[in-house]
Amino acid sequence: MTVSPLLEIHQDACIKCYSCVRICPVKAIRVDVNTEYPSIIPERCIGCGSCFMACSPAAITYRSSINEVKELIASGEKVAAVCDPAISGEFHDITDYRKFVQMIRNLGFAYVTEVSFGVDLVAKEYKELLEDFKGKYHIMANCPAVVSFIEKYYPELVSNIAPIVSPMVATAKVVRQRYGQEIKVVAIGPCIAAKDEALRITGDGRIDAVLTFTELRRLFNEFNIRETQLEFSEFDPPLGNKGSLYPISDGILQAVDISENLLSGNIITTEGRNNMLCAVKEFDSRIDLIRRHFNIFYDDGCLMGPGTSQGGEKFLRHTLVTDYANKRLNTLDPEAWKRDIDEFKGLDFSRDYVPDDQRLPLPSEEKIEEVLEMIHRQDQRDNDIGCESCGYPNCREFAIAIAQGLATTDMCHIFSGRNRQEYIKTLRTTNEKLAKTQEALRISEEKAKQEKDSQLEISALVSAMLQQLVSGVVIVDENLRILHANKAFIRILGEEAAMVDEVIPGLEGADLKSLLPIHFYKIFSFVLSSDESVERKDVQYGNGVLNVSVFSLRSKKFVGGIIRDMYMPEVYKEQIITRMKEVIDQNFDMVQKIAFLLGEGAAKTEQMLNAIIESHQSQNKK
Q: What is the 3-class SS of 122-168, one letter each residue? A: HHHHHHHHHHCCCCCCCECCCCHHHHHHHHHHCHHHHHHECCECCHH
* CATH number of this structure's domain 1-63: 3.30.70.20
Give 379 or 243, the one with higher predicted confidence.
243
Which of 288-297, 379-388, 605-614 is modeled with the greatest confidence? Answer: 288-297
pLDDT digits (tens, 9 = 90+) for 51-81: 999 999 999 999 999 999 999 999 999 999 9
pLDDT of residue 422: 58
Would you kindly state where each structural domain of the chain is located, as residue ranges? 1-63, 64-344, 362-447, 449-567, 572-622
The answer, yes or no, to whether residue 591 has pLDDT greater than 50, is no
pLDDT of residue 582: 56
pLDDT of residue 202: 93
User: DSSP secondary structure string, 435-498?
Assistant: HHHHHHHHHHHHHSHHHHHHHHHHHHHHHHHHHT-SSEEEEEETT-BEEEE-HHHHHHH-HHHH
Q: pLDDT grade, residue 337 (50/70/90)?
A: very high
* Domain 449-567, CATH among 3.30.450.20, 3.40.50.12780, 3.30.1330.10, 3.40.50.1110: 3.30.450.20
Class of domain 64-344: alpha beta
228 by Cβ neighbours in 10 Å (0-12 / 13-18 / 19+) ranks as exposed
Residue 137 and residue 162 in contact, taking contact as beta carbons nearer than 8 Å: no
pLDDT of residue 458: 61
pLDDT of residue 237: 94
Pairing of strands 558-565, 472-477: antiparallel
577 by Cβ neighbours in 10 Å (0-12 / 13-18 / 19+) ranks as exposed
Closest C-alpha to 181, from 105, 78, 81, 84? 78
Q: How far apart are CA 258 and CA 266, in angstroms?
A: 9
* Other C-beta atoms lying within 10 Å of the C-beta of residue 511: 19
pLDDT of residue 364: 80
Closest C-alpha to 269, from 395, 421, 139? 139
Closest C-alpha to 127, from 261, 294, 253? 253
pLDDT of residue 583: 45
Q: Would 1-63 and 64-344 be classified into the same CATH topology?
A: no
The answer, yes or no, to whether residue 369 has pLDDT greater than 90, is no
Q: How far apart are CA 331 and CA 114, in angstroms?
A: 15
pLDDT of residue 493: 84
Question: What does the mean pLDDT of the chain come to?
Answer: 84
Q: pLDDT grade, residue 581 (50/70/90)?
A: low
Give 368 or 587, the one with higher predicted confidence.
368
3-state SS, 417-452, equals: HHHHHHHHHHHHHHHHHHHHHHHHHHHHHHHCHHHH
Eight-class DSSP state of 12 = T
pLDDT of residue 128: 93
* Residue 620: its H or E element: helix 569-621
Lowest-confidence region among 41-50, 494-503, 603-612: 603-612
Q: How far apart are CA 622 and CA 618, in angstroms?
A: 7
Q: pLDDT grade, residue 622 (50/70/90)?
A: very low
Q: How far apart are CA 447 and CA 429, in angstroms?
A: 28
- 329-354: average pLDDT: 93
Q: How far apart are CA 379 and CA 336, in angstroms?
A: 72
Lowest-confidence region among 155-164, 314-323, 400-409, 474-483: 400-409
pLDDT of residue 584: 47
The answer, yes or no, to whether residue 279 has pLDDT greater than 80, is yes
For a pLDDT cut of 90, what percent of the chain falls above it? 47
Residue 5 and residue 32 in contact, taking contact as beta carbons nearer than 8 Å: no
pLDDT digits (tens, 9 = 90+) for 469-478: 778 898 999 9
Q: pLDDT grade, residue 521 (50/70/90)?
A: confident
| Long-range interactions of 102-108: CB distance < 8 A, separation 24+ | 102/230, 102/231, 102/232, 102/233, 103/220, 103/225, 103/226, 103/227, 103/230, 104/188, 104/216, 105/233, 106/223, 106/225, 106/230, 107/73, 107/81, 107/219, 107/220, 107/223, 107/225, 108/73, 108/74, 108/79
Cα of first residue to Cα of last residue in the chain, in angstroms, is 101
The answer, yes or no, to whether residue 423 has pLDDT greater than 70, is no
Residue 236 and residue 113 in contact, taking contact as beta carbons nearer than 8 Å: yes
pTM: 0.66
Q: How far apart are CA 561 and CA 409, in angstroms?
A: 29
- 381-403: average pLDDT: 68
